[in-house]
Structure formats: structure tokens, C-alpha cells
Amino acid sequence: MSKYKLVGKIGEGTFSDVLKTLSLRDGKYYACKHMKQHFESIEQVNNLSEIQALRRLSPHPNILMLHEVVFDKKAGSLSLICELMDMNIYELIKGRRKPLPEKKIKNYMYQLCQSLDHIHRNGIFHRDVKPENILIKQNTLKLGDFGSCRSIYSKQPYTEYISTRWYRAPECLLTDGYYSYKIDMWSAGCVFYEITSFQPLFPGSNELDQISKIHDVIGTPAKKTLNKFKQIFFFPRMEERMGWISSSFQVPANGKNDVPEKKNNKTKTRLTVCYLTVVCNRDVLCNQKFCQVRRCLSITVGTVTSEVPRQVYNILQLQNPHPTKLSARFLLHEGFGDKPLRM
């Protein structure tokens, strides 16, 4: 890091610190992602999924550009020098009262889906799409922080506790790592709502509460979906086990309980069976809530008559806990008929 001068700290995460640095070579400012992990060799560094992904995906107008990899073999330290952006989506909307213009929302969502389409076409899915990882500079949006990314073609099961809980797709919550790149689109839908309303769509306090909040908005899953859950994830004597769970693991009316974030397969199965039990024994939930969510997408953009936000919301299929639309389909949506959406 002798070629860079530390200017200040931008942020801190579990696995890294982000610093603002000045290059002594070209006089430009960069973001330095300094890893907390100790690295033994350059081979270990080059095998890091984040570095491989950024090298493979660049250059692209909506992917954060990796400028340089700085590895100090003696200290075992690693820093990723990336382009410096102005802020992230979370910082953009935090404390904001005035709604963002509809054109700007469309602009950001179009660019986000451009980035997802690009990474998916290149065989990578992000697994941690959230406001903090979506960066903005002027009117350009870029997807960053590929520390959790995986190859689409890698063998399942994947890591269970991936993605920040509020943006975690149902298949991440209800299976032991059997999910796909489609989880990125679920997360993008949650981000879209948050940009529009300045409120998180599913702010669950734990995994069961997260499922409950999703259920409250999207309603009871279709019978076909429930049957699919039973066929894929469970075993003989299903009804007997569901009955036992129903009597011994009740869900309070507010949908909350004390299920810990880290759990073994037995607890994960119990959580899923409990979910199915609740679903099978309840009427269609909170359709009024669902209507309020959809209505918010037109009201908060400042144009009550606007249909575009609701159409975009529909194409993300937040009504379906197993979204099948890809980012490419999203990009072709009529709501983006005025692309390239110059600001």
C-alpha cells in the first residue's frame, strides 16, 4: 500500500474495512477494501471468488471496477483497490422525506437489472443484493461487494445463511441450501420497494418472523406450491409430523418466536414443517396488506395514476415465493420503453 495514501474510513463490515485512499501515482481517489482475513499466498488470493468475479465481469457500466489487487506477502494482508463511488442506496434514502422522481427510480432499477443480467449471463450470482451493496455516482448505479458470490454451475447445496435476512428469498429460508440465481431477483424486488417507499418490505426480526412477514404480504401459497414443498423437502408420515409440530411449536399471533439464526438441519426442517402447518391451517392472509403494498408503489413516486411501478413490481413476482422471471425479462418490460432513461 506504499503507492496509496489513506484519507479516511468509509465503512466497516464483518470481513473487511472500506477506506478512502489517494493514489500517489495518478492523483485519483479510490475505495480500498482491506480484508481482515490473513492470506498465506498469492494463489490463495487469486482463488478468492470476489477477485475472480470482478476480473471476469469487468468492464461493465453497472459493475464496480476493480483497479488493483494489493497483496503484502510478509504481512499476509490483502486490499482491493476499486473505483470510488459517491454513496450507496441505503445512504441515498436514509432520512429522506421527499419521494424520488419516478424517472430516477426507473433509471436505478434498469441499471440494477442490467448488472444482474450481466453477472447471470457470465455464470455468477451475487447472493447479497441489498441497498448497502448498490453504489451510486451521480446518475450511474453499480453493483458491488461480490464477497458472497458463487458460480451458477457449482453444486448444491449452497451456504444456507447467505444474504441479509430482510432480502433473503423464501427458498433460502426454507431449504438446506437449495436455491439458485433467482434469489438475486427476489432481493432486487425488495430493494425496488425500499427505493420507492423508503421502508423495508420484509423487516423480519428472525427467520420465522421473516417468513411470516413475506406470507402477510403475498398471501397463502397456492396448493400446487404447497404440494411441491411436501414432495421435495419432506418424508413419510408427513401429516403426523406436521400435527406434532402444530401442537408443540405454536406460532404467536404476531408471527414472532425465538428461533436462532444458526440452526442444524433438524431445526431447519422443523421451521419448514411449522411454516407449512401454519399455511395449511390459515385462510388467505392480509390481502389488504398486499393491496397497500401495491398501492404504495404508485403513491410514493408522486404519481397516483402511474402504472409503471406496479407493473415492474409484478414482473419481479413478489406475489410468488418462487420467482421465475429473469433480469433479462425485466429489462424488456414495457415500463422501460423510454430507455436508456437519460437523467
Residue positions annotated with a catalytic role: 128
CA distance 84 to 340: 24
33 is in an annotated binding site: yes
The closest of 296, 251, 302 to 272, measured between CA atoms, is: 251
Beta strand 29-35 pairing with 150-151: unpaired
CA distance 157 to 179: 8
Residue 338 DSSP class: T
Task: Pull the grid cell for residue 238.
Answer: 408427513
The torsion angles phi and psi of 50, rounded to 5 degrees, stand at -65, -45
Strand partners, 79: 34, 70
* Residue linked to cell 423437502: 233
Are 21 and 30 in contact, with CB atoms under 8 Å apart?
Answer: yes
Strand partners, 18: 11, 33
The closest of 247, 237, 309, 306 to 274, measured between CA atoms, is: 247
Residue 85 DSSP class: P
CA distance 136 to 139: 7
Beta strand 134-137 pairing with 150-151: unpaired
Detail the residues annotated as belonging to a binding site for ATP: 33
Annotated binding site: 33
